[in-house]
């Protein structure tokens, strides 16, 4: 049997009518306490539900699970492989309360109108440029015309841009490939790309396997191009549960403190190795580095300068349509309270906008 016009029009009317009836929006219910607190951080190539940095400690030591067990609140973790961009989507969908992720997607999400507040920094970590030995790349300037891969929309894209700047190059001078971490490894192994830009735990594997050598790193310096990011809370959660927000930040600061204590160095690497990245890459990444220089949760001038530069970059690349004020986005009241309550006020040294330690 075939569908004639009359039936078609009738069906159409029915569909539209049904849609209109369904249109009544659902009221948002704010209970006294949620049944679950949902957190996310960037995933790893192995797809394991663990993280690095302070969030990795928070996750592995189950600090939140223990803290909220008595309240009957469970903790839900997400470590999407799509990293920052996927976290933005989850926040927009209302599927997350807290997220710990890289500066660029973080800025892009805020720029697109995600309602969040920054409650802590995730510190800084160095970026690396690794290249195939036969690609004849010895400096940043040598990247000109080469095939360079990183994952777009992540903090590494911003790092790449900043690093190129230091060599007097622009993104138009290189052949850019947008690849996820797992694909980067395949592509540089097969010789399809010449260089990869990324953080230690993802690219140092390549060095270990003798596939690539480090040609540039921001390690040991506050040079622009380092990886930075934030721990954010959604406005919806913060407004509904200010006390719970404070307790989550407290635990986060506890985790940061653990991750900043040199006597935990070995234990830390064990925790981070749960992500599936070889333990040795963390050892190498952190060799000659002071833990607390990297794991500082402080929302100091250095953090704000990094974010401001990221906002400018995002505007210039049309990743966001208009700039926003970093200071309005940051809410350091939770962090300040946590530092005060724990007596951690002098554990981390604030830095000025150039990245130098502030001397008292």
Partner 1 sequence: MSDVTFKAPVIISDRRPQRAGAGEGAARSWARPWLSDAATRVLLGLVPPLALLALWSYAVRQEWLAEQILPAPFLVYETTRDLLLTGQLADELLVSLARVGAGLAIGGGLGLLFGLAFGLFRTLDLYVAPTVRAFCLVPSLGWLPFFMLVFGIGETLKLVLIAKTCFLPLMVGAYEGLRSRPRKYDEVASALELSWFSRVRLVVWPSILPSILTGVRQALSRGWKVLILVEMIASAAGLGYLMMWGRKAFQLDVVFATMIVIGLVGWALDHALTRFQHRATAWSFKAA
Residues near partner 1 (CB under 8 A) are 2, 4-6, 8-9, 12, 15-16, 19-20, 23, 25, 85, 88-89, 92-94, 105, 108-109, 111-114, 152-154, 175-179, 183, 186-187, 189-193, 318-319
The answer to whether the CB of 147 falls within 8 A of the CB of 175 is yes
d(CA 356, CA 360): 12
CB atoms within 10 A of CB 108: 21
Smallest gap from residue 172 Cβ to partner 1 (A) = 12
Question: Which is closer to partner 1, CB of 90 or CB of 223?
Answer: 90
| Smallest distance from partner 1 to CB 351, Å | 29
Cβ of residue 155: shortest distance to partner 1, in angstroms?
Answer: 12
Q: Quick one: how many helices (H) and strands (E) in the chain?
A: 16, 10
Q: Which is nearer to partner 1, 155 or 273 (CB)?
A: 155
Quickly count: other Cβ atoms within 10 Å of residue 344's Cβ: 17
Our CB check for partner 1 shows the closer of 47 and 113 to be: 113
State the number of CA atoms in the 13 A half-sphere of 91 facing the CB.
32
DSSP 3-state assignment of 109? helix
Nearer to partner 1, 169 or 335 (CB): 169
Instruction: Considering the complex, state which of residue 181 and residue 256 has its C-beta at the smaller distance from partner 1.
Output: 181
The residues pairing with 232 across neighbouring beta strands, listed in sequence order, are 99, 118
Nearer to partner 1 among residue 85 and residue 225 (C-beta): 85
Minimum Å gap between C-beta 190 and partner 1 is 5
Instruction: Provide the minimum distance between the beta carbon of 166 and partner 1 in the complex, in angstroms, as a whole number.
Output: 23
Q: Is 20 or 70 the residue whose CB approaches partner 1 more closely?
A: 20
CB of 97 to partner 1, least distance (A): 15
> Is there a contact between 146 and 175 (Cβ–Cβ < 8 Å)?
yes
In whole angstroms, the minimum distance from the beta carbon of 38 to partner 1 comes to 16
Q: How many CA within 13 A on the CB side of residue 340?
A: 7
First to last CA, the chain: 86
CA angle, 45 as apex, 120 and 257 as ends, to 5°? 30
| Strand order across the beta sheet in which 227-234 lies | 74-78, 36-41, 98-102, 227-234, 116-125
């Amino acid at each position: 049997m075939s569908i004639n016009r009359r039936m078609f029009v009738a069906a159409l009317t029915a569909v539209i009518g049904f849609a209109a009836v369904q249109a009544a929006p659902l009221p948002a219910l704010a209970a006294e306490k949620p049944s679950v607190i949902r957190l996310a951080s960037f995933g790893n190539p192995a797809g394991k539900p663990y993280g690095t940095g302070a969030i990795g400690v928070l996750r592995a030591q189950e600090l939140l699970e223990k803290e909220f067990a008595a309240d009957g609140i469970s903790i839900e973790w997400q470590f999407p492989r799509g990293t920052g961009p996927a976290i933005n989507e989850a926040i927009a969908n209302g599927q997350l309360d807290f997220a710990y992720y890289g500066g660029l997607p973080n800025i892009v999400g805020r720029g697109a109108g995600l309602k969040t507040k920054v409650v802590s920094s995730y510190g800084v970590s160095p970026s690396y440029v690794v290249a195939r030995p036969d690609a004849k790349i010895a400096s940043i300037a040598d990247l000109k015309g080469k095939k360079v891969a990183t994952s777009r929309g992540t903090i590494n894209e911003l790092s790449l841009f900043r690093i190129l700047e230091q060599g007097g190059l622009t993104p138009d001078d290189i052949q850019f490939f947008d690849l996820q971490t797992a694909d980067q490894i395949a592509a540089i192994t097969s010789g399809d790309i010449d260089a990869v830009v990324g953080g230690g735990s993802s690219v140092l594997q390549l060095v270990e396997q003798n596939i690539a050598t480090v040609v540039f790193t921001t390690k040991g310096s506050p040079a622009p191009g380092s990886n930075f990011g934030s721990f954010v809370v959604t406005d919806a959660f913060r407004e509904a549960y200010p006390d719970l927000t404070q307790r989550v930040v407290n635990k986060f600061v506890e985790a940061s403190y653990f991750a900043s204590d040199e006597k935990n160095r070995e234990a830390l690497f064990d925790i981070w190795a749960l992500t599936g990245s070889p333990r040795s890459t963390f050892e190498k990444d952190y060799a000659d580095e002071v833990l607390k220089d990297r794991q500082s949760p402080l929302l100091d001038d250095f953090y704000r300068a990094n974010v401001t530069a990221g906002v400018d970059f995002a505007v210039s690349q049309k990743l966001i349509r208009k700039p926003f004020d970093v200071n309005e986005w940051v809410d350091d009241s939770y962090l300040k309270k946590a530092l005060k309550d724990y007596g951690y006020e002098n554990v981390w040294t604030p830095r000025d906008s150039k990245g130098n330690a502030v001397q008292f």
